[in-house]
Amino acid sequence: MAFLPHPPGRHFRGPRVAVVAALLVLFGCAPPVRPPAFVPRDEVPLAGLPTGKAGWPAPEWWRRFHDEQLDGIVARAMRGSPNMEQAEARYRAALRAVDTAKAELNPQVRGLVNGGHGYSDVDVRGEVPGAPGNAQGFQLNPGNSWSNSGVAGALATWDLDLWGKQKDAVAAAVGQARAAEAERASAAASLQYNVVNTYFDWQAQQARLDVARHAARNAEEYRELVALRVHSGLDDPTALDQADARLAQLRRSVAQLDGAARLDLAQLAALAGVSPDDLGTLKPSPLPAADTHLPSDARLGLLARRPDIAAARWQIEASAKNIDQARKAYYPDVSLTALGAFLRTYPDLGSGTRTDLTLGNVGASVQLPIFSGGRLRAQYEGAQAQLDSTVAQYDAAVVQAAGEIAQGVATLQMLDDQRVQVDRQYDATAAQKAKAADRRSKGLIDDRTWLDADMQLDQQRDARLQLASQMLSANLSLIHALGGGYHADDLPDLPAAKAGEDATR
């Protein structure tokens, strides 16, 4: 009977079909990609915000105050702050994680060199089958020997990453690094805001301290005049008690303001990472006027300039890539391997006998996740839960940013309305003092009335300074809420925008 030859390649068709079928079954076991449980916000209601200068705040926004003393303190804080050192260290660690993930895409070669010196002493004891009596036992003792052996080899492996699982790991590491970069910017923005806000609070305390000391000097002079009149029997002694109480209250205000100023210096030194003496002697200067305008694009586009929101977006990107990596863990791993080794032994030193063995092998290997005991499913569900968590954190950051900006705007508007009334009170009190000075010059009143009017004007001066300090602090808080000059124009798309595309893969 003649056998017909198989057509070329037909005898491989069966195994090929089996392999393809196995791969399809494995791919079908991979869970489908679903959108996050929390839908990321793509807009934030910030209705009623006034419009103004575009692109505000600018990078290094504190320089608009033209205060070289402030610029130096901010620069020192950026160099010596422990918080900035921690943020910088986290960013460097994230960059090294990216390098580690990228290195997994490259081939690797591992070498082995081993040498040994051995000793053997063989003593064989046994029984001869079928031998009767005492003759059945035997003993062999060929003696002892020394031997040397050496092995040298190399193993090369290269994961082909056919499905892009390791590339997803690289993308996730890049997302974490970008998030760490944004978190570093967030730490810098918070540090700058705290330094500038504390510095101007110290300036406000200095201005209020001058007013309080002036009022205390007036109170001392007023008390002396009252004491003269009481001792002369012209006034009731209770008038002196009232003068003493007013003087004590003003001196207490001086002590409180002086203590608050020293606390501000201590806080500035702590922010800069130096001792209060290293700050040097700071010079008081007038408070700058607060900027009550907002940029014309105070919507989500500007909120995205907040570094904490940018960090949250990159965390979403990293979590999404982790899901892709966990899903592709269901796919087989295909890698190339190459092995080379050389073995030489001298089984009995001095006999001239040696044994050489050379090995070499090149091929491909496929690892299939046939049964994992639920590990792959748990990893995938954990990655999906992490994405839901990061999206929820992103939404919370956006809502919090919107709330901070809305509160900042409302605070500025409220303080601006109060400023109109405080200015009117000051003008009215200043007019009363001017009239008292005129009547005093004509001899119609004594110095007590004029001093009392001057102390009332000092109260209005202090009220104006407090309001100016509050408005400046609210202005700085709003600058911080709007990102402090941070800008990132390469943020990734939110997963909700491409959920339909992912679901079809």
Q: Strand 333-348 vs strand 353-367: parallel, antiparallel, or unpaired?
A: antiparallel
pLDDT in tens, 89-131: 999 999 999 999 999 899 999 998 988 888 777 777 767 666 5
Three-state SS letters, 269-290: HHHHCCCHHHHCCCCCCCCCCC
Q: Taking all residues of the chain, what is their mean pLDDT, rounded to a whole number?
A: 83
Measured distance CA(152)–CA(343) in Å, rounded: 7
Would you say residue 286 has pLDDT above 60? yes
pLDDT at residue 181, rounded to an integer: 93
Rg (CA), the chain: 41
Ranked by mean pLDDT, the top range of 71-75, 123-127, 376-380, 397-401 is: 71-75
Q: Which two tokens stand for residue 136?
A: 């059945």
Domains identified in the chain and CATH numbers = 28-118+143-503 (1.20.1600.10)
pLDDT at residue 131, rounded to an integer: 57
pLDDT at residue 262, rounded to an integer: 95
**CA–CA distances in Å: residue 30 to residues 141, 325, 495:** 63, 11, 20
pLDDT bucket at 370, cuts 50 / 70 / 90? confident
- Please state, for a pLDDT cut of 70, what percent of the chain lies above it: 81
Would you say residue 158 has pLDDT above 50? yes
Q: Which residues pair with 109 in a beta bridge?
A: 156
Mean pLDDT for the stretch of residues 376-393? 91
pLDDT bucket at 58, cuts 50 / 70 / 90? confident
Whole-structure pTM value: 0.79
Ranked by mean pLDDT, the top range of 253-257, 316-320, 441-445 is: 253-257
Find the angle CA(435)-CA(440)-CA(443) to the nearest 5 degrees.
135
Ranked by mean pLDDT, the top range of 36-50, 77-91, 188-202, 404-418 is: 188-202
**CA–CA distances in Å: residue 261 to residues 60, 192, 199, 413:** 25, 19, 10, 27
